[in-house]
C-alpha cells in the first residue's frame, strides 16, 4: 500500500492518476477496527456508529459497472452544484469592513437597475421572435397559398406540396444544425435546463450568449419550419440567459469586461437574476407577469425570499409592457401600452358557467391527465430510443429533425388534400384561406388550421365561432397533431412544448364542446370556445404537471379572471390523474439526462438513514497550511470540488475514521485561482503587495470559467512552496453531525442552497462529506408503491 | 338634571350649523336643476338644442331603418351613406352648438346613466366601422363619394349578374352552359376583387359580401365546380416516399448503431470501506 505522502514525494509534478487506481489504493483515511475500541462504548454517537457497522454492507463488486444510456436510475456525474452559499472568508469580512454601508446601497440600487434591464432586454428578444416569425410565416404561407390556388386549376398540386416540404426541411435544418453542432444545450424547450439551474445545478454553458443566439435563431427556424412546436419555452430560457448575461457586466465569450457590476459575479447573485429572467421570459411569452413570477417560484427557485419576489415581479411587469408597447406600434396602435388584441390567446368574451359545469371540467381534467401521461410515456420511450440509437451520431440527429419536418408537411397536406371541410368565406377568418377543392366562396377549414403558426391555430380554436370545423376533420387533426407533437419533442432543435399541447388540447376540448352541443341543443351554457380552453388547460396540465403558475398564465393570457376556478379544478384533476402514472415531461427528461435535481421534499419514511450512510467517505482533506505539490496532486487526481481544511499539524497516515479537526472548507476554484496567481507563503513580497480586496477581485475576475488544473504550470521550485489557506477558506461552513437523519440533512442542504456539507463526529473531526448527488441518490418511486430506491452515479463523460 | 339643557344647547347649535350648510348646498343644485328643466320644458325662448336633439333622433332612425333594410344582401355602405353623414353632422352640432341657456352638450349629455344619445351614436358608428364602409368611398372635403374602385366593381358585378340571368330557365334553376358563357366576366370580377384585397388592409363590406354571394351562387346554384382528378400520381408517390422514410431511418438506426454504455462511478461509502479494509487488514 502506497501512502499518499510517499507518492507526493516520488511524483512531484503533473500527477494525473488513473482514477480507478486512486480509488482502490488511496486510503486517505483508512478505517481500522481498533478505532472502534479507541472510541469507547460510552458515548451514544459511537453506539450509533457501531450500529452502522453492523448494518449489512451492500454487495457491490469492485469492478466498474456499466449501464446503457437512457436509464432513469443513474445520476450523471458531470453535473455539479452552484456555489449558492457565499463562503464566509476573511477576505469577505475585510471587504465589508472597508466598503461600508455606501457600498451596500450601491449594490442594492444596481440590483434594481439590472432587474429592469432584464425586463427590457427580454421583451426585446420577444419582439424579435414575434416579428421575425410573423414575417417569415407570412412569406412562407403566402407563397404556398399562391401556388395552391394556381395548382388546383393546373392539376400540379405536387408543386406546393414539395415546396411545403422544402420550406419545412430548410428552416428546420437551420435550427437543427445550429443546435446539434454549435450548442447542444440549446435543444428542447429550455425549461428543464432553467429548472435545473434554478434548483442549484450547474448545467454547463446553459446561460451563455452563444446559447442565446442559437436558441433564438433555432426557435425561429423550427416554428417557421412548421413543426408542432411553440416559442414559449425557448423564450423563458432566453430570458434566463439575458439575466445571467447582463448582471455580470462582462462577456467571457466576447472577451469583453466592462468592469462594472463586479459584486454580482458569484453564483448566488447570478441565480437570483436568472430567476428574474425566467419570469421575464414567461411574461414575454404569454403576456403574463404574475404567471411569470409564480413560474419562477414553482418550477425553479428552491431558495427564495420576499424581496427577490418583488424584484422578479418588476422585471416581469416591465417585460410585459415593453413588449405590448412595441408590438402595438408594430400592429399600428401607436402609443398604446395595452390593447386586448395582444393577449396571447385573444380576449375571451364574458364567459358564463354554472356549478354543474364544474363536473364536466373536472372530468375533462382527468381525461387531460390520461392523455398527458400517455404523451409522456410514449415520448419517454422515444427519448430512450433516441439516446441509445441516434444521439451518438450527430448527423443522425439532424436527419431525424429533417424527416420529422418533412412528415409534418406531408400530414398537413394530406389532410387538406383528402378532407374537404368547406366553410363559407364570410368575413375571411384566416389570413391565408385556401380553397383547394372547395367551391368558390368557400375555404378549406383544415387548410386554415395548417396554414398558420401553431400559436395562431390555438387562438383560432379558442376564438372561432361554433361550427367552424367538422367533427371528422377536428378529430383527425387532434390525433395526428398529438402524435406529431410526441414525435417532435426531444428532437435536436430548440422548440417549446406549450403550444402543441395547448393545440391538441384545444382540439379535443372543442370536440367535447361540439358533443355537448349535440347532447344539449339550445342550451346557452354550451360554448365550444370555453371547452376549447378547458381542454387545452387539461392537456397541458397533464403533460407538464405545473399547477399554480399554469393556472395564472392561462388566466392572464386570456384576460379572464372569472374563469379561474374552472381552470384550477381542471389542472388539479389533470395533475392528479397524470401523477398516478408517471412524472411530468420535464422531470422525465431531467431524470433521463441524469441531472441531480433536489425535489421539494425529502423522501418520506427515511428517518432511518443517517448522515454516516449518506456521506462519501473517506474525505480528501487539506491542511490549513498546505504544500503546493499536494494541492496540485489532489486537484489532478480527484474530481471533488470542495475540500475540508483541517489543522495544520494533521498527519495523513492516520488510521482513524475521522480525518482531523474541521477548520474550514475550500473550493476547487479558489485553489485554482490561488495557484494561478501563485499566492504562496514563500513569495512574501508578492503577497504583501496585494491587499485582501485585490485578492477577492482575483476570484471575481475569473468567474465563471476557471482554468483547469492541467493548464496551470508550476516550476518544481514552486511545487515545494506552501499556501496558507486560512484567509481564503470558508472558515465556518455548515456542518452536520454524523448521526443526523436524512430528512434533516436534506432540508438543511436544500434550504441553504449548499454544495458541500461536511459531516463531523462528536469531537468536530471530519468523517465524511455530503454533496447533492449523495442526497439525490435516495429517491422515492411513487409509481411502484412507496419504495425507496438508491440511484447509481455515472462517471463524468 | 342640570346637564340636560346644556346638552340640548350644543346639539341645537350643531343642528343649526348643519342645516345652514345643507341649505347652501341645495340652493346651488336647485339653480342648476331649474335651468335644465326650463330649457327642456319651457322651450319658449330658444329651442336650438331641442331641435338638434330631434334632428339627431330622426336621422339615427333613418340610418337604422336603412341599415336593417339593406342588411341582406349587404348594401349598407352604398345605400345609407347619406343618412350616416346626417347622423354625424347632427351629433357634431350637438357637441359644438350653444344657445342662451348654455352649451347643448351640457344640456343634453352626461346627465343620466342611460346616456341614450351617446349609446345610439356609438351603435351607429360601430356598425359603420365594422363594415369597413370608409373603404368604399373617397373622402373629398369631408363628403363621402363612391370611389372609382367601388363603382368599377359594381359595374363588373352587374355585368356578371346580367350574364347569369340570361341562363335562368326556371325558378332558381339555371342552365349549366352559364359556366362557360359567363366565365369571362366572373373571372374578371374575381381578379378585380383579389386586386382590391391585396392593395388595401380592409375591404368594404358591400364588396366582400357581394363577392361572397356571387361565388356561392357560382358554386351552389350554377354548380360550376371544376372536376378535380383526385389521384395525382406524382403527389401520391412523393408523399408515400416521404412518409416511409422515417421507418427506414429508425430501422437502420436500430440495427446499425451500437448502444453507448456509460461507466458508473465507484461510490466511496463508509460501509464500502468496512468490508474490503477489514479483509485487507486481517
A433-451 residue pLDDT tens:
787 777 777 788 888 888 8
A37 in contact with chain B, both atoms CB, cutoff 8 A = no
- The answer to whether B278 contacts A33, with C-beta atoms less than 8 Å apart, is yes
Q: Which residues contact B186 (CB under 8 A, 6 or more apart)?
A: B160, B163, B214, B218
Chain A residues lying within 8 Å of B235, measured CB to CB? 157-158, 161, 417
Q: What is the pLDDT of residues A116-147, one digit of tens each?
A: 999 999 999 999 999 999 999 999 999 998 88
Q: Is the pLDDT of residue B108 over 90?
A: no
- The answer to whether A615 contacts B269, with C-beta atoms less than 8 Å apart, is yes
Average confidence score pLDDT of chain A:
82
Which of A683-687, A750-754, B74-78, B189-193 shows the lowest per-residue confidence on average (mean pLDDT)? A683-687
pLDDT-derived band at A756 (thresholds 50, 70, 90) equals: very high
- The answer to whether A797 contacts B262, with C-beta atoms less than 8 Å apart, is yes
Distance from the Cα of B91 to chain A's closest Cα (Å) equals 26
Q: Is the pLDDT of residue A776 over 60?
A: yes
Which of B181, B205, B221 corresponds to the end of one domain? B221
pLDDT-derived band at B27 (thresholds 50, 70, 90) equals: very low
Most confident by average pLDDT, A7-11, A231-235, A672-676, B177-181:
A231-235
Examine the domain organization and report whether B57 and B119 are in the same domain.
yes
Q: Is the pLDDT of residue B94 over 50?
A: yes
Which of A19-23, A258-262, A505-509 shows the lowest per-residue confidence on average (mean pLDDT)? A19-23
- The answer to whether A69 contacts B262, with C-beta atoms less than 8 Å apart, is yes
- What's the start-to-end Cα distance of chain B, in Å? 110
A305 in contact with chain B, both atoms CB, cutoff 8 A = no
Alpha-carbon distances, residue A305 vs A84, A275, A310, A327, A600 (angstroms): 14, 12, 9, 33, 16
Quote the number of domains for chain B.
Answer: 2
Give me the phi and psi of A747, to 5 degrees please: -65, -40
Examine the domain organization and report whether B159 and B120 are in the same domain.
no
Comparing CA positions, the residue from B280, B163, B141 lying closest to residue B218 is B163
Average pLDDT value for residue range B7-25: 50
Average pLDDT value for residue range A527-548: 92
Distance from the Cα of A718 to chain B's closest Cα (Å) equals 32
Q: Is the pLDDT of residue B4 over 70?
A: no
Please identify which residue in the block is written with the cell numbers 422548440: A495
In a domain, B119, yes or no: yes
Average pLDDT value for residue range B181-198: 79
Q: Which residues contact A729 (CB under 8 A, 6 or more apart)?
A: A87, A89, A624, A645, A663, A664, A665, A666, A670
Distance from the Cα of B216 to chain A's closest Cα (Å) equals 5
How far apart are alpha carbons B19 and A566 in whole angstroms? 54
- The answer to whether B274 contacts A417, with C-beta atoms less than 8 Å apart, is no
More confident residue, A659 or A301: A659
More confident residue, A146 or B194: A146
pLDDT-derived band at B274 (thresholds 50, 70, 90) equals: low
Burial A555-591 (b: 16+ CB within 10 A, else e): bbbbbbeebeebbbbbbbbbbebbbebbbbbbbbbbb
Chain A residues lying within 8 Å of B239, measured CB to CB? 161, 410, 413-414
Most confident by average pLDDT, A596-605, B22-31, B90-99, B130-139:
A596-605
Chain B residues lying within 8 Å of A389, measured CB to CB? 250, 253-254, 257, 259
How far apart are alpha carbons A118 and B73 in whole angstroms? 54
What's the DSSP call for residue B114?
S
How far apart are alpha carbons A286 and B252 in whole angstroms? 41
A226 in contact with chain B, both atoms CB, cutoff 8 A = no
Q: Is the pLDDT of residue A267 over 60?
A: yes
The whole-number pLDDT of residue A71 equals 79
pLDDT-derived band at A76 (thresholds 50, 70, 90) equals: confident
- The answer to whether B212 contacts A390, with C-beta atoms less than 8 Å apart, is no
The whole-number pLDDT of residue A786 equals 56
Domain of B74, in residue numbers: 50-131
Q: How far is CA B96 from the centre of its chain?
A: 28
Q: Are strands A787-790 and A778-781 parallel, antiparallel or unpaired?
A: antiparallel
Chain B residues lying within 8 Å of A20, measured CB to CB? 266
Most confident by average pLDDT, A315-324, A459-468, B125-134:
A315-324
Indicate the fold that domain A4-72+600-794 takes in CATH: CBS-domain (3.10.580)
Which of A48-52, A138-142, A262-266 shows the lowest per-residue confidence on average (mean pLDDT)? A48-52
More confident residue, A527 or A540: A540
Closest-CA residue in chain A for B187?
A440
The whole-number pLDDT of residue A444 equals 83
- Facing residue for A793 by CB, picked from B242, B267, B271: B267
Average pLDDT value for residue range A249-271: 81
Q: Are B189 and B160 in contact (CB under 8 A)?
A: yes
C-alpha cell at A628: 503546493
In a domain, B255, yes or no: no
- The answer to whether B262 contacts A52, with C-beta atoms less than 8 Å apart, is no
- Facing residue for A31 by CB, picked from B228, B265, B277: B277
How far apart are alpha carbons A395 and B253 in whole angstroms? 12
Interface contacts A/B by beta carbons within 8 Å: 169
Q: What is the pLDDT of residues A367-400, one digit of tens each?
A: 999 999 999 999 999 999 999 898 888 999 999 9
Examine the domain organization and report whether B170 and B214 are in the same domain.
yes
Average confidence score pLDDT of chain B:
73
In a domain, B210, yes or no: yes
How far apart are alpha carbons A526 and A530 in whole angstroms? 8
Q: What is the pLDDT of residues A331-372, one digit of tens each?
A: 877 777 776 666 677 777 677 788 888 999 999 999 999 999
Which of B131, B160, B183 corresponds to the end of one domain? B131
In a domain, B155, yes or no: yes
More confident residue, B131 or A662: A662
In a 10 Å sphere around its CB, with 0-12 CB exposed, 13-18 middle and 19+ buried, how is residue A647 labelled? middle
Chain B residues lying within 8 Å of A426, measured CB to CB? 212
- The answer to whether A57 contacts B274, with C-beta atoms less than 8 Å apart, is yes
In a domain, B258, yes or no: no
Average pLDDT value for residue range A487-496: 92
The whole-number pLDDT of residue A608 equals 86
The whole-number pLDDT of residue A432 equals 78
Model ipTM over 0.85 = no
Q: Is the pLDDT of residue A48 over 90?
A: no
How far apart are alpha carbons A791 and A779 in whole angstroms? 7
pLDDT-derived band at A784 (thresholds 50, 70, 90) equals: low
The whole-number pLDDT of residue A15 equals 35
Task: Note which residues in 600-639 of chain A have CB less than 8 A from chain B.
Answer: 612-613, 615-618
Find residue A788's DSSP bridge partners.
Answer: A780
Closest-CA residue in chain B for A425?
B212
Distance from the Cα of A265 to chain B's closest Cα (Å) equals 32
Task: Note which residues in 756-775 of chain A have CB less than 8 A from chain B.
Answer: 767-768
More confident residue, A63 or B232: B232
How far apart are alpha carbons B126 and B135 in whole angstroms? 15
Which of B169, B186, B221 corresponds to the end of one domain? B221
- Facing residue for A794 by CB, picked from B258, B264, B275: B264
- H or E, element range at A203: none
Q: Are A296 and A275 in contact (CB under 8 A)?
A: yes
How far apart are alpha carbons A108 and A106 in whole angstroms? 5
- H or E, element range at A666: strand A662-667
Average pLDDT value for residue range A406-420: 90
Give me the phi and psi of A116, to 5 degrees please: -65, -45
What is the model's pTM? Answer: 0.81
The whole-number pLDDT of residue B141 equals 67
pLDDT-derived band at A702 (thresholds 50, 70, 90) equals: confident
A150 in contact with chain B, both atoms CB, cutoff 8 A = no
Distance from the Cα of B9 to chain A's closest Cα (Å) equals 56
In a domain, B274, yes or no: no
The whole-number pLDDT of residue A57 equals 39
Amino acid at each position: 500500500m502506497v501512502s499518499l505522502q510517499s507518492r507526493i514525494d516520488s511524483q512531484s509534478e503533473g500527477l494525473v492518476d488513473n482514477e480507478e487506481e486512486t480509488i482502490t489504493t488511496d486510503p486517505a483515511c483508512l478505517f481500522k477496527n481498533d478505532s472502534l475500541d479507541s472510541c469507547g462504548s460510552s458515548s451514544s454517537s459511537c453506539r450509533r456508529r457501531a450500529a452502522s457497522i453492523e448494518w449489512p454492507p451492500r454487495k457491490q463488486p469492485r469492478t466498474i459497472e456499466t449501464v446503457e444510456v437512457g436509464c432513469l436510475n443513474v445520476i450523471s456525474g458531470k453535473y455539479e452544484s452552484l456555489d449558492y452559499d457565499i463562503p464566509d472568508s476573511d477576505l469577505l469580512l475585510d471587504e465589508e469592513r472597508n466598503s461600508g454601508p455606501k457600498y451596500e446601497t450601491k449594490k442594492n440600487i444596481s440590483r434594481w437597475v439590472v432587474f429592469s434591464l432584464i425586463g427590457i432586454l427580454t421583451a426585446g428578444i420577444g419582439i424579435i421572435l414575434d416579428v421575425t416569425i410573423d414575417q417569415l410565416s407570412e412569406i412562407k404561407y403566402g407563397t404556398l397559398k399562391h401556388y395552391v390556388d394556381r395548382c388546383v386549376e393546373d392539376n400540379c398540386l405536387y408543386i406546393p406540396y414539395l415546396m411545403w416540404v422544402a420550406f419545412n426541411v430548410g428552416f428546420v435544418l437551420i435550427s437543427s444544425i445550429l443546435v446539434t453542432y454549435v450548442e447542444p444545450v440549446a435543444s428542447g424547450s429550455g425549461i428543464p435546463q432553467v429548472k435545473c439551474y434554478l434548483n442549484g445545478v450547474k448545467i454547463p454553458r446553459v446561460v451563455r450568449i452563444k446559447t442565446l443566439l442559437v436558441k433564438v435563431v433555432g426557435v425561429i427556424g423550427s416554428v417557421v419550419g412548421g413543426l408542432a412546436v411553440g416559442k414559449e419555452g425557448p423564450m423563458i430560457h432566453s430570458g434566463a440567459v439575458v439575466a445571467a448575461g447582463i448582471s455580470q457586466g462582462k462577456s467571457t465569450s466576447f472577451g469583453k469586461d466592462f468592469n462594472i457590476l463586479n459584486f454580482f459575479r458569484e453564483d448566488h447573485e447570478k441565480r437570483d437574476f436568472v430567476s428574474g429572467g425566467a419570469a421575464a421570459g414567461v411574461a414575454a411569452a404569454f403576456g403574463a407577469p404574475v404567471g411569470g413570477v409564480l413560474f419562477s417560484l414553482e418550477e425553479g427557485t428552491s431558495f427564495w425570499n420576499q424581496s427577490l419576489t418583488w424584484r422578479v415581479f418588476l422585471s416581469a411587469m416591465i417585460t410585459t409592457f415593453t413588449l405590448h408597447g412595441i408590438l402595438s406600434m408594430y400592429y399600428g396602435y401607436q402609443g398604446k401600452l395595452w390593447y386586448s388584441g395582444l393577449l396571447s390567446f385573444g380576449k375571451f368574451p364574458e364567459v358564463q358557467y354554472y356549478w354543474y359545469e364544474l363536473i364536466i371540467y373536472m372530468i375533462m381534467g382527468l381525461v387531460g391527465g390520461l392523455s398527458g401521461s400517455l404523451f409522456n410515456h410514449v415520448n419517454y420511450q422515444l427519448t430512450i430510443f433516441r439516446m441509445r440509437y441516434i444521439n451518438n451520431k450527430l448527423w443522425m440527429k439532424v436527419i431525424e429533425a429533417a424527416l420529422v419536418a418533412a412528415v409534418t408537411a406531408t400530414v398537413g397536406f394530406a389532410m387538406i388534400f383528402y378532407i374537404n371541410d368547406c366553410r363559407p368565406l364570410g368575413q375571411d377568418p384566416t389570413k391565408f384561406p385556401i380553397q383547394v377543392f372547395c367551391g368558390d366562396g368557400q375555404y378549406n377549414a383544415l387548410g386554415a388550421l395548417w396554414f398558420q403558426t401553431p400559436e395562431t391555430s390555438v387562438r383560432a380554436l379558442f376564438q372561432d365561432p361554433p361550427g367552424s370545423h367538422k367533427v371528422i376533420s377536428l378529430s383527425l387533426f387532434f390525433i395526428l397533431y398529438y402524435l406529431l407533437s410526441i414525435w417532435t419533442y426531444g428532437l435536436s432543435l430548440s422548440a417549446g412544448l406549450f403550444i402543441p399541447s395547448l393545440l391538441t388540447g384545444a382540439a379535443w376540448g372543442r370536440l367535447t364542446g361540439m358533443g355537448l352541443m349535440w347532447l344539449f341543443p339550445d342550451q346557452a351554457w354550451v360554448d365550444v370556445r370555453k371547452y376549447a380552453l378547458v381542454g387545452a388547460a387539461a392537456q397541458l396540465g397533464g403533460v407538464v404537471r405545473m399547477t399554480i403558475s399554469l393556472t395564472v398564465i392561462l388566466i392572464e393570457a386570456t384576460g379572464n379572471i372569472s374563469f379561474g376556478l374552472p381552470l384550477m379544478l381542471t389542472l388539479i384533476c389533470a395533475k392528479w390523474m397524470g401523477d398516478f402514472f408517471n412524472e411530468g415531461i420535464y422531470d422525465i427528461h431531467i431524470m433521463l439526462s441524469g441531472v441531480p435535481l433536489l425535489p421539494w421534499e425529502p423522501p418520506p419514511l427515511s428517518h432511518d438513514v443517517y448522515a454516516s450512510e449518506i456521506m462519501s467517505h473517506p474525505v480528501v482533506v487539506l491542511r490549513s497550511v498546505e504544500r503546493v505539490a499536494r494541492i496540485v496532486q489532489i486537484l489532478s487526481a480527484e474530481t471533488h470540488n470542495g475540500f475540508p481544511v483541517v489543522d495544520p499539524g494533521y498527519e495523513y497516515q492516520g488510521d482513524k475514521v475521522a480525518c482531523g479537526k474541521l477548520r474550514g472548507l475550500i473550493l476547487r476554484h479558489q485553489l485554482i485561482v490561488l495557484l494561478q496567481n501563485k499566492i504562496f507563503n514563500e513569495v512574501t513580497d508578492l503577497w504583501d503587495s496585494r491587499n485582501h480586496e485585490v485578492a477577492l477581485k482575483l476570484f471575481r475576475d475569473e468567474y465563471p470559467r476557471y482554468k483547469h488544473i492541467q493548464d496551470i504550470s508550476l516550476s518544481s521550485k514552486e511545487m515545494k512552496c506552501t499556501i496558507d489557506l486560512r484567509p481564503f477558506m470558508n472558515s465556518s461552513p455548515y456542518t452536520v453531525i454524523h448521526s443526523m437523519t436524512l430528512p434533516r440533512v436534506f432540508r438543511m442542504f436544500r434550504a441553504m442552497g449548499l454544495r458541500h456539507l461536511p459531516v463531523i463526529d462528536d469531537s468536530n473531526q471530519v468523517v465524511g462529506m455530503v454533496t447533492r448527488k449523495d442526497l439525490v441518490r435516495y429517491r422515492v418511486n411513487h409509481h411502484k408503491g412507496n419504495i425507496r430506491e438508491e440511484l447509481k452515479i455515472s462517471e463524468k463523460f | 338634571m342640570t346637564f340636560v339643557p346644556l346638552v340640548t344647547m350644543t346639539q341645537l347649535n350643531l343642528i343649526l350649523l348643519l342645516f345652514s350648510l345643507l341649505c347652501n348646498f341645495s340652493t346651488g343644485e336647485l339653480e342648476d336643476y331649474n335651468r335644465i328643466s326650463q330649457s327642456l320644458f319651457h322651450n319658449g325662448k330658444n329651442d336650438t338644442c331641442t331641435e338638434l336633439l330631434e334632428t339627431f333622433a330622426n336621422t339615427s332612425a333613418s340610418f337604422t331603418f336603412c341599415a336593417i333594410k339593406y342588411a341582406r344582401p349587404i348594401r349598407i355602405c352604398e345605400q345609407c351613406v347619406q343618412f350616416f353623414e346626417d347622423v354625424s353632422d347632427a351629433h357634431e352640432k350637438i357637441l359644438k352648438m350653444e344657445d342662451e341657456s348654455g352649451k347643448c352638450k351640457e344640456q343634453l349629455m352626461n346627465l343620466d346613466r342611460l346616456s341614450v344619445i351617446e349609446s345610439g351614436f356609438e351603435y351607429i358608428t360601430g356598425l359603420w366601422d365594422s363594415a369597413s364602409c370608409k373603404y368604399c368611398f373617397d373622402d373629398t372635403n369631408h363628403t363621402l363619394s363612391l370611389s372609382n374602385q367601388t363603382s368599377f366593381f359594381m359595374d363588373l358585378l352587374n355585368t356578371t349578374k346580367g350574364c347569369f340571368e340570361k341562363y335562368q330557365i326556371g325558378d332558381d334553376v339555371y342552365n349549366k352552359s352559364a359556366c362557360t358563357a359567363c366565365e369571362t366576366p366572373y373571372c374578371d370580377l374575381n381578379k378585380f376583387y383579389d386586386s382590391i384585397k391585396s392593395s388595401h388592409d380592409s375591404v368594404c363590406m358591400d364588396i366582400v359580401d357581394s363577392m361572397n354571394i356571387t361565388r356561392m351562387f357560382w358554386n351552389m346554384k350554377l354548380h360550376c365546380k371544376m372536376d378535380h382528378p383526385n389521384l395525382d400520381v406524382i403527389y401520391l408517390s412523393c408523399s408515400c416516399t416521404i412518409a416511409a422514410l422515417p421507418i427506414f431511418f429508425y430501422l437502420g438506426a436500430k440495427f446499425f448503431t451500437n448502444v453507448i454504455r456509460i461507466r458508473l462511478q465507484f461510490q466511496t461509502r463508509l460501509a464500502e470501506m468496512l468490508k474490503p479494509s477489514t479483509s485487507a487488514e486481517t
